[in-house]
Amino acid sequence: MADTQTPHPKYKRVMLKISGEALMGDQGFGLHPPTVQRIAQEVKSVHDLGVEICMVIGGGNVFRGLQGSAQGMERTTADYMGMLATVMNALAMQSALEEQGVFTRVISAIRMDEVAEPYIRRRAVRHLEKKRVCVFAGGTGNPYFTTDTAAALRANEMNCEAILMGKNGVDGIYDKDPRAHSDAKRYDTVSYDEVLQKNLKVMDASAIALARDNNLPIIVFSLDEPGGFRGILAGDGTYTMVHGGSSKFGAGEAA
């Protein structure tokens, strides 16, 4: 007998992209275990709907390549250090998810066989088919590419139906920073081209272009709202969708 309490998910396979800073909690650096556990619980609630989940986590809570480069470090070296930071975050998320009973695989674009699997596309797809969460680490494996671009790349390779961008402090895309401007307006929908033309802070330009070229929708939502991730998959919640259509503002303004 069907479970009438379980909503039918909007997407069958998704990419969840979160920043490394999302794992810091109120700290200024590193990992905050209760925050990692909370995000893992959000992921489990969506996994319980039967959704196949890919994840990419940034490394900015440990080391950000662009910042290192700005301080005089060679850009390539700084970017590789940032990639290693994403592996640390991926392992932390794997641990938290498996404590919740969710089988998880960390798949690294940089080989480190003792702690993560190497990226082999067909093997990763098979993990998803077996309902394992796949956390893709190490970016694309190349300097000069961000984890945003890695998320868009892996989402396309894994045939995900959408990229979900979990943000801290904002529940979508605004025409200006809602934390600094009380009259900021939130988009319900916005086109890929408008994101690029107006330099809206969603993902970097390479990631937006890759999503646009493959018609992959990007959904921006608040990671701070309990149940927000599950709500979107159930067809509810507050978010902004980036797609190929025309743009539309939400009815309300930011508080």
3-state secondary structure 57-104: ECCCCCCCHHHHHHCCCCHHHHHHHHHHHHHHHHHHHHHHHHHCCCCE
Helix pair angle (33-47, 75-99), 10° resolution? 70
Report the pLDDT value the prediction gives residue 149, as an integer from 0 to 100: 97
Spatial separation of the C-alpha atoms in residues 105 and 94, rounded to whole Å: 7
Most confidently predicted of 144-148, 179-183, 200-204: 144-148
Question: 221 pLDDT exceeds 90?
Answer: yes
% of the chain surpassing 70 pLDDT: 92
Name the pLDDT band for 39 (thresholds 50, 70, 90). Answer: very high
Work out the average pLDDT over 68-74. 78
Report the pLDDT value the prediction gives residue 133, as an integer from 0 to 100: 98
Report the pLDDT value the prediction gives residue 247, as an integer from 0 to 100: 67
Spatial separation of the C-alpha atoms in residues 102 and 161, rounded to whole Å: 21
Name the pLDDT band for 86 (thresholds 50, 70, 90). Answer: very high
Work out the average pLDDT over 227-242. 90
pTM metric for this prediction: 0.91
Spatial separation of the C-alpha atoms in residues 151 and 167, rounded to whole Å: 14
Name the pLDDT band for 8 (thresholds 50, 70, 90). Answer: confident
End-to-end CA distance of the chain: give it in Å, rounded: 44
Alpha carbon dihedral 238, 244, 245, 249, in 10-degree steps, equals 40
Name the pLDDT band for 5 (thresholds 50, 70, 90). Answer: low
The amino acid sitting at 168 is N
Question: 2 pLDDT exceeds 70?
Answer: no
Work out the average pLDDT over 42-58. 97
pLDDT in tens, 145-172: 999 999 999 999 999 999 999 998 889 9
